[in-house]
């Protein structure tokens, strides 16, 4: 079997930065302070397990302890709401802000547009941490998951406030054509919609590399966590291009059927560590047995 890797794959800048910040925080606090992340640091089970063994604990934001004095809390790359940040600080936590700078930019934009009187549409997955975090900066924003929902919400807003100033922000991992479809649905009611380009370059690069790879291979493996939005998106893009594709989280998840394809592609989400990509590549090419 011939294996071709995507030109761009694996850790993005924001995830690498968050992982490094967490490693440093764990090392600095060893034996002295408890270190937490608010929710899983990244959507990758192997990395999370490694951190767990080093003593990094995961906090559930719906069940925060009474006190967090003398504890370190790492804010993950997706970011959190400013309200939650304040709640943590009030409980005495020392915060390490690993919010990705690209996400931070979206948060700040949401706040400045709200302050300037815009009605904001936020395109993305309603329950994703990044979307929830951005909503905290623009509490009245309208979250829309697809063009149909965007059309519905734009129509309701138009009936109430036909001259409203509107703007569109998106989850950093949204596919460009999906974002465009949502923008067009809103523009049917608000032609002056301000479309803010919030799609992350790292996401775009990985999606572009995957589309190119699809033209060269018979089937594809996308390596990454099932909870990872950008990994799931890569899988969907491959499948939309008519490729047989699987999402695998670990070596044991490699589907035996893949061996029937002469040329196989390997892509990976932005929260997939290099070691895992290498392990899977080595098993597929027969350099290492599973």
Query: What CA–CA distance (Å, rounded) separates 160 from 20?
Result: 48
List residues binding ligand SF4 (CB under 6 A).
12-15, 77, 100, 102-103, 172, 200, 202-203, 230, 270
CB nearer ligand SF4, residue 24 or residue 257? 24
DSSP 8-state secondary structure symbol assigned to residue 93: P
CB nearer ligand SF4, residue 166 or residue 173? 173
CB of residue 16 to ligand SF4, shortest distance in Å? 8
Rg of the chain on CA atoms, in Å: 21
The tokens of 173 are what?
A: 């991992």
Query: What CA–CA distance (Å, rounded) separates 59 from 27?
Result: 19
Residues forming the active site: 130
CB nearer ligand SF4, residue 81 or residue 106? 106
CA end-to-end span of the chain, whole Å? 16
The contacts of residue 223 (CB under 8 Å, 6+ apart) are 9, 231, 247, 248, 249, 266, 267, 268, 269, 272, 276, 277, 280
CB nearer ligand SF4, residue 166 or residue 272? 272
CB nearer ligand SF4, residue 4 or residue 13? 13
The tokens of 110 are what?
A: 């949401």
Q: Given CA atoms 90, 130, 107, 185 in this order, what sign does their dihedral have?
A: negative
Query: What CA–CA distance (Å, rounded) separates 61 from 68?
Result: 13
CB of residue 42 to ligand SF4, shortest distance in Å? 9
Which residue is associated with the tokens 């067009």?
A: 184
CB of residue 238 to ligand SF4, shortest distance in Å? 18
Counting every residue, how long is the chain?
290
Query: What CA–CA distance (Å, rounded) separates 236 from 210?
Result: 11
Find the residue with minimal CB distance to ligand SF4: 14
CB of residue 244 to ligand SF4, shortest distance in Å? 26
CB of residue 189 to ligand SF4, shortest distance in Å? 29
């Amino acid at each position: 079997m011939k294996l071709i890797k995507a030109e761009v794959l694996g850790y993005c800048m924001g995830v690498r930065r968050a992982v490094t910040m967490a490693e440093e925080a764990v090392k600095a606090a060893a034996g002295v302070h408890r270190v937490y992340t608010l929710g899983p640091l990244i959507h990758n089970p192997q990395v999370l397990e490694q951190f767990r063994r080093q003593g990094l604990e995961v906090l559930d934001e719906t069940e925060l302890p009474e006190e967090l004095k003398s504890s370190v809390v790492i804010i993950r790359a997706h970011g959190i709401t400013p309200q939650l940040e304040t709640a943590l600080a009030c409980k005495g936590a020392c915060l390490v802000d690993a919010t990705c700078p690209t996400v931070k930019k979206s948060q700040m934009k949401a706040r400045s547009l709200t302050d300037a009187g815009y009605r904001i549409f936020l395109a993305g997955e309603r329950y994703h941490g990044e979307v929830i975090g951005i909503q905290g900066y623009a509490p009245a924003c309208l979250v829309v998951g697809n063009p149909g929902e965007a059309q519905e919400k734009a129509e309701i807003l138009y009936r109430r406030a036909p001259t409203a100033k509107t703007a569109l922000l998106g989850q950093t991992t949204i596919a460009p054509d999906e974002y465009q479809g949502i923008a067009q649905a809103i523009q049917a009611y608000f032609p002056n919609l301000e479309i803010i380009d919030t799609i992350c370059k790292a996401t775009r690069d990985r999606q572009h590399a995957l589309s190119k790879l699809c033209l060269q291979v018979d089937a594809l493996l996308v390596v990454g966590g099932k909870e990872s939005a950008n990994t799931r998106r890569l899988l969907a893009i491959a499948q939309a291009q008519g490729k047989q594709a699987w999402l695998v989280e670990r070596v044991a998840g490699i589907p035996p059927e893949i061996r029937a394809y002469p040329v196989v592609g390997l892509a990976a989400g932005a929260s997939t560590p290099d070691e895992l990509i290498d392990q899977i590549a080595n098993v597929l090419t027969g350099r290492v047995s599973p």
